[in-house]
């Protein structure tokens, strides 16, 4: 059995990747629990949010932390008052890449289900998030979130898709 040398840089990248994974997990938990104070702290002031194709949830794209939080909080209130169910935003397959100098790109799958009062669940939506995150005052925050509801987008350029 061979030993793999783990450098201080490897450990630092592992820690930062884990912190970014916590950011991704916090998004769904804070949104679903309507904790919009903590939800706001997940974004840089100049963050951008978009969904492709536009599902008509609120006007897109959204620019700025306050506008993102207002749009998302309004949608959460609407869902609570009209659907009779509680949303669950589940993030899976989190891939942190291009991590360097306080910035990284992240890809993850999103699954949205609704929990109904009778204990049943309903799958409502799925997609792929492509995020840019950056350290802001020593904390990882979203500077851009783009949800792709159809095809899984290319993460790296290819000869067919530069």
Q: Give the pLDDT confidence of 16-45 residue by residue, as tens digits.
A: 999 999 999 999 999 999 999 999 999 999
As its CATH architecture, domain 8-148 has Roll (3.10)
* CA distances to 62, 65, 89, 100, 145 from 70, in Å: 10, 9, 18, 31, 16
* 11-17: average pLDDT: 93
| pLDDT at position 11 over 80 | yes
**In this predicted structure, what is the pLDDT of residue 1?**
46
Tally of CB atoms within 10 A around 5: 5
Of the candidates 107, 99, 88, the one whose C-alpha atom is nearest the C-alpha of residue 147 is 107
d(CA 72, CA 58): 8
Domain ranges of the chain: 8-148
Per-residue pLDDT, 43: 98
pLDDT attached to residue 162:
59
Read off the pTM. 0.90
Q: 130 with 48: CB under 8 angstroms?
A: no
Q: What is the pLDDT of residues 99-125, one digit of tens each?
A: 998 999 999 999 999 999 999 999 999
Which residue, among 113, 116, 120, has the nearest Cα to 90 in the 3D structure?
Answer: 113
- Burial of 52-61, coded b for 16+ CB within 10 Å and e otherwise, reads beeeeebeee
């Amino acid at each position: 059995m061979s030993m793999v040398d783990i450098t201080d840089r490897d450990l630092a990248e592992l820690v930062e990747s884990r912190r970014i994974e916590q950011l991704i997990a916090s998004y769904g938990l804070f949104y679903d629990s309507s904790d919009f104070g903590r939800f706001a702290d997940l974004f840089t002031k100049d963050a951008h949010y978009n969904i492709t194709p536009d599902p008509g949830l609120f006007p897109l794209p959204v620019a700025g932390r306050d506008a993102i939080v207002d749009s998302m909080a309004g949608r959460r209130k609407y869902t609570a008052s009209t659907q009779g169910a509680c949303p669950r935003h589940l993030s899976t397959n989190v891939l942190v890449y291009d991590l360097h100098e306080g910035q990284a790109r992240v890809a993850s799958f999103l699954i949205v289900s609704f929990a109904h009062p009778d204990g049943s669940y309903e799958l409502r939506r799925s997609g792929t998030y492509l995020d840019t995150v950056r350290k802001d005052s020593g904390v990882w925050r979203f500077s851009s979130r783009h949800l792709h509801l159809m095809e899984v987008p290319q993460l790296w350029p290819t000869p067919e898709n530069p």
